[in-house]
Structure 1
Amino acid sequence: MSIDPSSIPSFGMPPQQPGGGQPNPAPPVVVPDQELVKQLLDQMQLKHVVDEEGDLTAPWEGFRVYYMFRGDEGELFAVRSFYDRAYPIEQKGEILDLIDEWNRDTLWPKVYTHTHEDGVVRLIGESQMIVGMGVNLEYFVATTANWTNAAVGFEQWMAERLGLQKEVDGEGGESDSGSDES
């Protein structure tokens, strides 16, 4: 099964029906698998690899997004983001306040903390859906694309909220004003 590029969501107006006639038949219901997700990531032009545990991973600078099927029969599809930025345990309260705000204001990913034994706090984002009985192909494609975009958006949002935008944009960027004034 392959993904038709036109099935990647436009998030705009509903598509026009050819000739203004009857609506297109309902898209197929599929039981998604890793090959389907690979095709979607290829369509989205995202680099991806399969890690040593067999999970599909799309790496970004500063985080990785995993596309995983879990459960006895792979009936649970999860998109999980592991963010590399480490926070000291003393900053956990501030981080929790920020991710509470994110979780209240957005649908996905739901973000939580993981505190390592050495006191380093890291963030993980997660979105899940049950797919074992099948799912509408367009819905699966749109949701997976949205979850991926949201995982990237969270990293940018967090950097902005913590005043780390220089770190994200790269040190020594252009100044905000275009003038020669000091």
Structure 2
Amino acid sequence: MSRTPTRWISRLLDSLRGGGERPAPALDVPSPLTAARVGDDLTRRGYHYRSGDGELTGTWDGHRMWFLLLGERQEILCVRGRWSRTLPGEHRGLVLRAINDWNRDAVWPTAYVREDTDDGVLSLYAEISVDLEHGVTDAQLADVVTTGLSSAIGLFRSVDRLLGPLPTD
């Protein structure tokens, strides 16, 4: 049995050393997370959003979405969405059962309900948070944003189908 590397391994090693027929592919090096980078990603895809008070926000499929930088060094990207519908407090049990099923069966997003007003009206939220302390490539950032948006919209559609129209709609 020969200990000589096969041709494809030799070509790979040559390309990594800078020799061979093709140059080594450029590495997408992680760089620090910033709100500007998140905004650039959204702009590159033609999404419309607003920026102000340190947060980016917009509407996707009628649902409000936020892109927040959290943590001591703003190293955590949180994509948070709020369902376009609200529910009166008497539907709390129904919506809690729905999101409990979601949280049990799905990895993302985390779903929760809270009262946003003093009159007992309930709002449903979806959220993913990713710690990017060591930086993030453009491709990774795009994946996090896509995952946050698509998983939140998926949750909201699922709850819409499950609950259907309610007497308060």
> Is this contact kept in 1: 2:80–2:148, CA < 8 A?
no
For residues 76 and 47 of structure 2, the distance between their equivalents in structure 1, rounded to whole angstroms, comes to 22
Q: Structure 1, residues 111-170: CA drift from partner, whole Å, max 9, x if none?
A: 101024311111111110112321343222212212111122222221111124xxxxxx
1:65 equivalenced with 2:65 (yes/no): yes
1:118 equivalenced with 2:127 (yes/no): no
SS at match of 2:144: helix
Partner of 1:131: 132
The 4+ residue runs of structure 1 with deviation greater than 4 A are: none
TM-score, structure 2 as length reference: 0.75
Q: 1:110 to 1:22 in 2, by over 3 A?
A: farther
Partner of 2:31: 30
Gaps spanning 5+ residues in structure 2: where?
1-21
Q: Structure 1, residues 10-66: CA drift from partner, whole Å, max 9, x if none?
A: xxxxxxxxxxx7873542111121111112112222110114x23101213542110
For residues 158 and 124 of structure 1, the distance between their equivalents in structure 2, rounded to whole angstroms, comes to 11
Partner of 2:89: 89
TM-score, structure 1 as length reference: 0.70
> Is this contact kept in 2: 1:62–1:85, CA < 8 A?
no
Tell me how many residue pairs correspond in the alignment.
Answer: 144
Q: What's the Cα RMSD here?
A: 2.2
Partner of 2:16: none
Partner of 1:43: 44
> Is this contact kept in 2: 1:67–1:78, CA < 8 A?
yes
Structure whose alpha-carbon radius of gyration is higher: 2
Segment drifting more, 136-145 vs 95-104: 136-145
For residues 155 and 125 of structure 1, the distance between their equivalents in structure 2, rounded to whole angstroms, comes to 8
> Is this contact kept in 2: 1:64–1:81, CA < 8 A?
yes
